[in-house]
Amino acid sequence: MHEALLLLHNLVRWLVLAFGLWVVFRPGARSGAFFAHTLTLQVVLGVVLAFVSPLFQGALANLEGVMQTPGEARYFVAEHWVGGLIALGLAHAGLGQVRKGKPRARLFFALALGLLLLSIPWFRPLLRF
């Protein structure tokens, strides 16, 4: 189950990035909804993945030690999911702004996409099969 969820989480990442680029360059209610809702799916997959991931569960068992040494476990326990949640909030804020016709929607979407780009584990395989 862990491998299947990891594969799905990885594939949805590319959809989120594609919709993120679409909404930044052409902000609108439709593109914003695709971005925000696909990102919501990605975060839900990530939360479920955290519950079944041996890396995440092992890191939680030794949280103090993990937080004292930089590395892959610390990245996933402390940084990866926080960036995703903040980006999710920014994406939904942007969606709300674009639905109200406010010009600052693009800023929210751009911030969400930028934070996502910083939160993606680029040191991991780009495609998992």
Give per-residue pLDDT as tens, 32-85. 999 999 999 999 999 999 889 888 778 778 888 878 888 788 888 888 889 999
Q: Which domain holds residue 21?
A: 2-119
Give domain status of residue 12, yes or no: yes
pLDDT, averaged across the chain: 91
Residue 126, pLDDT > 80, answer no
Helices (H) and strands (E) in the chain, counts: 7, 0
Give domain status of residue 125, yes or no: no
Give domain status of residue 10, yes or no: yes
Give domain status of residue 127, yes or no: no
Q: For residues 61 and 8, what is the distance between their CA atoms, to the nearest angstrom?
A: 26
At residue 28, the pLDDT reads 94
Q: For residues 4 and 1, what is the distance between their CA atoms, to the nearest angstrom?
A: 5
Q: For residues 84 and 42, what is the distance between their CA atoms, to the nearest angstrom?
A: 9
DSSP state of 94: H
pLDDT band per the 50, 70, 90 thresholds, residue 129 = low
- Answer yes or no: are the C-beta atoms of 129 and 7 closer than 8 Å: yes
Residues 6+ apart with CB under 8 A from 52: 1, 2, 5
Give domain status of residue 93, yes or no: yes
Residue 29, pLDDT > 90, answer yes
Give domain status of residue 107, yes or no: yes
At residue 53, the pLDDT reads 85
- Tell me which of 27-31, 73-77, 83-87, 113-117 is least confident: 73-77
Domain total of the chain:
1
In the three-class reduction of DSSP (H, G, I as helix; E, B as strand; rest coil), residue 121 is classed as coil
- Answer yes or no: are the C-beta atoms of 42 and 21 closer than 8 Å: no
DSSP state of 104: T
DSSP state of 128: -
Residue 122, pLDDT > 70, answer yes
Residue 16, pLDDT > 70, answer yes
